[in-house]
Amino acid sequence: MGQSSGYGKNFAGSFGLDDAPVAVTNVLRKAEIAVTEVRSECPRVGVTGSIPREDAFLVGLQLREYPRHQLFEDGRAVSVCDVRAGETVLYDLKRDPVVMIDKPFHSVHFYVPRAALNAIADDVHAPRVGELAYRPGAGIADSTILHLGHSMLAALAHPERASRLFVDHVTLAVATHVAQLYGHLKPATRPVRGGLAPWQVRRSKEILSANLDGSVTLKEVAEECGLSISHFARAFAVSVGLPPHAWLLRRRVDRAKSMLPDENLSLSDIALACGFADQSHFTRTFSREVGKSPGMWRRSMKD
């Protein structure tokens, strides 16, 4: 099976763009979830190109106000709505959705296939999601999608700095949110509230610490603990107090702190040893987490 046209270069082409930043994850079995950022200051005027029909949804976060958002489905006009910056618009790829592009645009679109929604439902022993409840073409004030979409912008701009754990976490959170809020997913059993067993905490921390660059996936760590991805993510946060990707980031910073007193090591050496893409990535992350740049922190250790 070839790549879906609901994300990446093929999706960008439907907007008249040559390419677009994209992140793809296989966090749920064989279901790919993806996120693509599209933007243009001087777009080609006309409707977007058709995307081959498939049982999947696009969850579009509008990062720029888009007055008179005109949506067509199955070749007929469906709605004309003013969409504010920060609002979410849902699209059903079974209905051949196309929109009129006649002004600058900027948006992030999460591609969520039916297979992902099914996997989420199966994981919590719930009936599978049917059609999603939303008004075609209308903007929705969805603070969760707003937060998750904005959190992906840096990863899309600098994919070499984004850990796979982080991308897994965000895409799984989006798909789960869509299933619950728009698909009315109701678990047949109460979700597990407990944390990991002590051996699972030890093993997961070992794996994460051995892959400070974030190259390990959430699926791989969950499988080592004998758990489903969603169960592992919830239980890890209960036991450790942070999601896996946030714990990994803190571990990177802690390791950097242990290395900084050694003045024989350059900041660039430390950055690479601690899993950062480069020195600038290290400096920004360390400064945000600690409140001081690595250089300032190193100098403060001498005082």
Structure pTM?
0.84
Percent above pLDDT 90 for the chain: 72
Q: Evaluate whether 90 touches 59 at the Cβ level (below 8 Å).
A: yes
Confidence band of 141 (pLDDT split at 50, 70, 90): very high
Print the domain residue range for 147.
Answer: 8-181
Question: Do residues 214 and 248 lie in contact, with contact meaning Cβ atoms separated by under 8 Å?
Answer: yes
Long-range contacts of 75-84 (CB under 8 A, 24+ apart): 78/136, 78/137, 79/135, 79/136, 79/137, 79/138, 80/137, 81/137, 81/138, 81/139, 82/139, 83/138, 83/139, 84/139
Same domain, 86 and 231: no
**CATH classification at residue 294:** 1.10.10.60
pLDDT of residue 1: 43
Domain with 35 in it: what CATH number?
2.60.120.10
Label residue 75 exposed, middle or buried (CB < 10 Å: 0-12, 13-18, 19+): exposed
Same domain, 136 and 263: no
Same domain, 112 and 23: yes
The tens digit of pLDDT for each residue in 169-228 reads 999 999 999 999 999 998 765 555 688 999 999 999 999 999 988 888 898 999 999 988
Instruction: Specify whether 207 is located in the same domain as 266.
Output: no
- What total number of domains does the chain contain? 3
Q: Does 189 reside within a domain?
A: no
Residues 59 and 89 reside in one and the same domain: yes
Q: Is residue 51 part of a domain?
A: yes
Q: Are residues 144 and 229 in the same domain?
A: no
Here the tokens at position 250 are 């803190």
Q: Is residue 193 part of a domain?
A: no
Query: Residues 227, 257: one domain?
Result: no
Question: Is the residue at 3 inside a domain?
Answer: no
CA atoms within 13 A on the CB side of 28: 26
Backbone torsions φ then ψ of 195, nearest 5 degrees: -95, -165
